[in-house]
């Protein structure tokens, strides 16, 4: 049983590794010397986004795998809402830091800044993929993984081939974002009926639109390091304020039932 569940994951894992890191290899084969190395300098914005969402997924997986039926639908709705907002937050923070981090890691090569700013958008598709694929594991139908992910890898190569051959790093980054979105949509189509009605599509769509619009604004900003520092400061302050408001509201919501119980006892 373990082999039946686990063996299909092997080609999936290999394909997923190439989806996250393969663009540098494609550039090394097709583009001019040095282009692949430049892309690799900022590829942390893909790997970091994937790593953070994967870490959060460790909390979402047991929550989804422990329920069935209507309970799964409700749990999926809650999880997708949380995952969509978490993905948006990660994209906002990562893209905000792209200017400053690129100046540090890439020796101030400002042409790489828009590449780094676009890369975190892969989180939009990755969030959908994580939650949809969890249902396939829960229902022991992992054979889908051996078909879907390698197939999407082929699509990704086709999308990235033209910009890669022309050394267009922004185009390669956009192709990566598009490929991950195709990955998420493909897994959604496969798994959607396993939690029908539980995907929180409005929240997910709103987060996608907000993330794309936000990155679009960042792309219009100057690429000097002063702008990078100011962007990090502004976004950091905004995120801290949002976290504080959320924490206060969460405490108020948690205390409301207790206050109601005390009033009843009185």
- Binning the chain into helix, strand and coil, the percentages to the nearest 5 are 90, 0, 10
What is the distance between the alpha carbons of residues 93 and 197, in angstroms, rounded to a whole number?
Answer: 30
CA distances in angstroms from 5 to 9, 140, 260, listed in the order given? 8, 6, 48
What average pLDDT is seen over the chain?
Answer: 91
The band of 26, judged by pLDDT with boundaries at 50, 70 and 90, is very high
What is the distance between the alpha carbons of residues 246 and 63, in angstroms, rounded to a whole number?
Answer: 22
Contact 9, 142 (CB under 8 A): yes
**Angle, CA 246 vertex, CA 53 and CA 258 arms, to 5°:** 120
CA contacts within 13 A on the Cβ side of 96:
19
Res. 263: pLDDT tops 70 = no
Res. 32: pLDDT tops 80 = no
The band of 247, judged by pLDDT with boundaries at 50, 70 and 90, is confident
Q: Which of 30-39, 54-63, 147-156, 247-256 is the least confident region? A: 247-256
Using the structure block, give the residue that is written with the tokens 């929240």. 203
**Angle, CA 135 vertex, CA 129 and CA 141 arms, to 5°:** 105
**Of 78, 66, 75, 80, residue with least CA distance to 138:** 66
The band of 264, judged by pLDDT with boundaries at 50, 70 and 90, is low
Structure tokens at 147: 């078909």
Structure tokens at 160: 């990235």
What is the distance between the alpha carbons of residues 218 and 113, in angstroms, rounded to a whole number?
Answer: 10
Q: What percent of the chain has pLDDT over 70?
A: 95
The pLDDT tens digits for 121-157 are 999 999 999 999 999 999 999 999 999 999 999 999 9
Residue 17's CB is within 10 A of a number of other CB atoms, namely 11
Residue 231's CB is within 10 A of a number of other CB atoms, namely 20
What is the distance between the alpha carbons of residues 101 and 104, in angstroms, rounded to a whole number?
Answer: 5
Q: Is 164 helix (H, G, I), strand (E, B) or coil?
A: helix
Does the reported pTM lie above 0.85?
Answer: yes
CA distances in angstroms from 211 to 8, 31, 121, 166, 232, listed in the order given? 33, 30, 7, 27, 16
Contact 126, 46 (CB under 8 A): no
At 233 the pLDDT is 96
At 262 the pLDDT is 58
- Interval 212-232 mean pLDDT: 95
Contact 65, 75 (CB under 8 A): no
């Amino acid at each position: 049983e373990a082999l039946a569940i686990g063996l299909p994951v092997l080609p999936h894992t290999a394909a997923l590794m190439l989806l996250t890191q393969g663009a540098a290899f494609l550039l090394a084969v097709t583009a001019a010397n040095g282009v692949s190395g430049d892309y690799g300098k900022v590829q942390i914005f893909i790997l970091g986004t994937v790593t953070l969402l994967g870490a959060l997924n460790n909390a979402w997986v047991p929550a989804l795998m422990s329920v069935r039926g209507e309970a799964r639908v409700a749990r999926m709705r809650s999880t997708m809402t949380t995952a969509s907002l978490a993905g948006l937050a990660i994209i906002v923070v990562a893209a905000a830091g792209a200017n400053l981090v690129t100046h540090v890691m890439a020796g101030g090569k400002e042409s790489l800044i828009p590449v780094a700013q676009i890369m975190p958008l892969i989180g939009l598709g990755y969030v959908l993929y994580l939650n949809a694929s969890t249902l396939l594991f829960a229902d022991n139908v992992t054979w889908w993984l051996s078909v879907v992910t390698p197939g999407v890898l082929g699509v990704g190569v086709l999308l990235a081939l033209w910009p890669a051959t022309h050394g267009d790093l922004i185009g390669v980054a956009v192709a990566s974002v598009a490929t991950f979105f195709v990955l998420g949509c493909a897994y959604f189509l496969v798994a959607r009926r396993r939690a029908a009605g539980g995907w929180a599509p409005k929240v997910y769509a709103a987060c996608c639109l907000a993330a794309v619009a936000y990155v679009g604004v960042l792309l219009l900003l100057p690429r000097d390091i002063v702008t990078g520092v100011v962007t990090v400061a502004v976004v950091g302050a905004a995120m801290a304020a949002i976290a504080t408001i959320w924490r206060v509201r969460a405490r108020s919501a948690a205390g409301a039932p207790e206050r109601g119980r005390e009033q009843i006892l009185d």
